């Protein structure tokens, strides 16, 4: 191991309590080769999204490991054959790597889902690969419905053919023999489910909606206890909402948001328009969006908020 690699290993161990993965190591080695100082690299690791999450006291330290009766080799092959994946997953200790969201991020999001869901019903809107639905199942929920419009195809950003069904939900459901029900459904048609749910998960979806307010009104009518929501937020205390004009097809392809609101704006919408009794911002992290958005003023860094709206 070179002296520089050794330093990067040290920074990882100190800030993240783990060894660097291949991608991380090569990212920082390239930065160093391009003239970045070790000080800047250490700072980046120390202030990374993962490091911020690990410092939180509410953070769930034990990540979810799902169970399957399938042999290890079969699980590994399914993971490889169906890449790319949206969610980090672990089944029988075998993990999916190179996912859109990380293990630490997903456990951060999961912190406001009650630990015991016995006799509770859950609706997971925009479920993607289904991590949060399967987490609720592992927490003993009575019934879980996962729904998605299947509008977000990760393969569109890569040089591989688009998938028939962009989500890997059904594949995972089969591997772990899950009882979660799946529906391909638009959030604006959610009332077609004709059911009420104790908890509704709305993670990473509000900023993709051109009419978030009417969607949340519909959800409010069907939520018995609480709605848990997460998403990009504006870094201001003002109750502001920012509407984007989609400039080109590539904006949509990149999953560019149609709207971004401040935490106070989301709270006001929840309480004043959608009739939730309480609405709170549970936590906020800074993350690297990977692109520059107009509201981040030239930076790729932005905020993500985690919310709880209760009836
Ligand atoms: C950014 S991903 C978030 C996935 C997951 N909830 C999470 O937080 O990890 C947004 C998901 O919402 C879905 N989606 C987008 N618009 C939707 C709509 N109108 N109705 C239902 N699902 C939608 C997309 O297909 C995608 O799977």
Evaluated on CA atoms 300, 20, 111, 96, the torsion sign reads: positive
Go through the chain and tell me how many residues it has: 311
Instruction: Give the model's confidence band at 86: pLDDT under 50 very low, under 70 low, under 90 confident, else very high.
Output: very high
Burial class for 233, CB neighbours closer than 10 Å (0-12, 13-18, 19+): buried
Give the architecture-level CATH label for domain 62-310.
3-Layer(aba) Sandwich (3.40)
- Lowest mean pLDDT across 6-10, 152-156, 201-205, 208-212: 152-156
Q: Can you say how many angstroms the Cα of residue 75 is from the centroid of all Cα atoms in its chain? A: 23
Provide the whole-model pTM: 0.87
pLDDT of 251 higher than 80? no
Question: How is residue 284 written in tokens?
Answer: 């906020």
The residue nearest atom 12 of ligand 1, judged by CA position, is 126
The reply to whether ligand 1 has any atom less than 6 angstroms from the CB of 8 is: no
- Lowest mean pLDDT across 131-140, 224-233, 249-258: 249-258
Residues 6+ apart with CB under 8 A from 175: 66, 68, 70, 75, 78, 91
Secondary structure letter of residue 187 according to DSSP: G
* pLDDT of amino acid 167: 83
Question: How is residue 228 written in tokens?
Answer: 């848990």
Question: How is residue 266 written in tokens?
Answer: 């989301």
**Domain chopping of the chain, boundaries:** 1-46, 62-310
Question: How is residue 264 written in tokens?
Answer: 């106070």
Ligand 1 atom nearest residue 87's Cα: 9
The reply to whether ligand 1 has any atom less than 6 angstroms from the CB of 130 is: no
Q: Is the peptide bond before 84 cis (omega within 30 degrees of 0)?
A: yes
């Amino acid at each position: 191991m070179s002296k520089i690699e050794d330093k990067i290993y040290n920074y990882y161990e100190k800030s993240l309590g783990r060894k660097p993965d291949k991608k991380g190591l090569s990212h920082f080695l390239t930065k160093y080769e391009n003239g970045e100082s070790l000080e800047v690299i250490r700072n980046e690791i120390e202030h990374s999204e993962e490091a911020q999450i690990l410092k939180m006291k509410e953070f769930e330290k034990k990540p979810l490991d799902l169970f399957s009766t399938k042999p290890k080799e079969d699980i590994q092959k399914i993971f490889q054959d169906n890449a790319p994946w949206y969610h980090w997953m672990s089944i029988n200790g075998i993990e999916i790597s190179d996912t859109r969201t990380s293990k630490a991020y997903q456990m951060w999001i999961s912190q406001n889902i009650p630990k015991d869901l016995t006799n509770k019903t859950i609706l997971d809107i925009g479920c993607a690969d289904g991590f949060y639905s399967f987490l609720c199942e592992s927490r003993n929920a009575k019934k879980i419905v996962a729904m998605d419009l299947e509008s977000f195809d990760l393969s569109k950003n890569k040089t591989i053919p688009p998938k028939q069904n962009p989500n890997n939900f059904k594949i995972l459901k089969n591997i772990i023999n899950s009882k979660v029900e799946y529906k391909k459904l638009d959030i604006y048609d959610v009332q077609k489910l004709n059911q009420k749910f104790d908890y509704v998960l709305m993670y990473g979806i509000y900023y993709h909606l051109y009419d978030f307010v009417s969607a949340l009104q519909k959800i409010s009518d069907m939520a018995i206890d609480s709605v848990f929501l997460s998403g990009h937020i504006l870094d201001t205390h003002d109750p502001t909402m920012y509407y984007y004009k989609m400039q080109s097809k590539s904006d949509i392809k990149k999953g560019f948001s149609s709207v971004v609101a401040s935490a106070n704006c989301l709270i006001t919408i929840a309480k004043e328009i959608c009739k939730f009794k309480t609405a709170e911002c549970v936590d906020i992290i800074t993350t690297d969006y990977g692109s520059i958005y107009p509201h981040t003023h030239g930076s790729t860094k932005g905020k993500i908020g985690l919310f709880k709206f209760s009836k």
